[in-house]
Amino acid sequence: MLDSNVLIDLLDGNEAVSSLCHIADSELYISVITRIELLSAMRNTEDREATIHSLLSLFTIVPLNDEVENKTIAIRRKTNLKLPDSIIAASAIITEAVLVTRDYRLASAKWPGLQVQTIAPQMNP
């Protein structure tokens, strides 16, 4: 499961993130929140949006269903994660996927079943 910031870095040509494309042997997941975040960015040009659609086609998009909603609610009640991050974490847990992120809050989140791998975490305020 790739976090939104990892895909944004990939789109921006970050080489540390680009290497992920070559090591994935299993099914790749993103949350529906990541899809929304990528496609709703104001800086998207027509070309960038086309690139985003091409990139998204490589992933299984985890929908916001009852199971993800309930896990998100439980995570939000017990952690300081923001709602989008809680949805992404819940999606990773439900799919039993390792969550790859550059966000230190997600990287430090402790929740049963949540496996996180960081790539040079970005420091959010």
The range of the structural domain enclosing residue 48 comes to: 4-122
Euclidean distance between CA atoms 20 and 77, whole angstroms: 32
- What is residue 92's predicted lDDT score, i.e. its pLDDT? 96
Euclidean distance between CA atoms 111 and 117, whole angstroms: 14
Contact 39, 30 (CB under 8 A): no
Number of domains in the chain: 1
User: Along the chain (125 residues), what's the average pLDDT of each consecutive run of 10 residues?
Assistant: 90 69 69 96 92 93 98 95 96 95 87 88 47
Give me the CATH number covering residue 9.
3.40.50.1010
Whether this model's pTM surpasses 0.75:
yes
Contact 19, 8 (CB under 8 A): no
Per the listing, tokens 């199971």 go with 67
Planar angle of CA 4, 87, 124, nearest 5 degrees: 50
